[in-house]
Structure 1
């Protein structure tokens, strides 16, 4: 059986376990000594299973280093897309010769793509939530109700 942590909670627990069971402020200080940023309240909530926010990139990278879990797997556990190579590093060498107007166009396009990606992510989460809720409603509609006779239930289509 694979014992690799699969959830963000399991990864945070592995980070704690790998550091002598340190939690909260103590784990935050350990992260800081390693040049990482990790809020003690965030890691405590993740371990407790009460964290409802979207973790920052710094938090995910700190959890990866402290737990020994590959960063891509940590991002997957958090339902986040892992960062790719820095875009600035991939631009052609002469990009600095673009005019201010040309630069503005590139920046505006990047902003549009980022906004669309956030919208897509939000809609994907809504659809996933709706599908889960729909399954619950379908099940509830099939359960017996003492006020409705079985002959009054609609036919399956």
Structure 2
């Protein structure tokens, strides 16, 4: 009986060694796959950032082209220059909207919303409900979920 156990041990040991070698090989393969995934993720992230930067820059090209045209016509009628600048501003607003940051907060008289507004001043206002936007200092861009900047506003306070 002891002789059979001694004979069985070397066989079991070789099977275990084979199994350990197989598992170590699987582990090395998994680690190499993980390393490759990390490298690919970094490379893909850099590529996506570059594509988004290009998309943003392309949105601004039309605005820049039209600013160049406006500068070229600087000696024209002042009304024409103002109309040109207003058109360029509208194009810039459209570009921001196309990038996912629409302009908002141009309306006075709406209630102050801390999610969308930044109060830069509080003033007494007769005939206006407290907490109402009485002046827009700077418009906001974006929306409640994806805000680039809040609208800077002046808010009415209670008398």
TM-score norm. by structure 2 comes to: 0.31
Bigger radius of gyration: 2
Identify, as 1 or 2, the structure richer in helix: 1
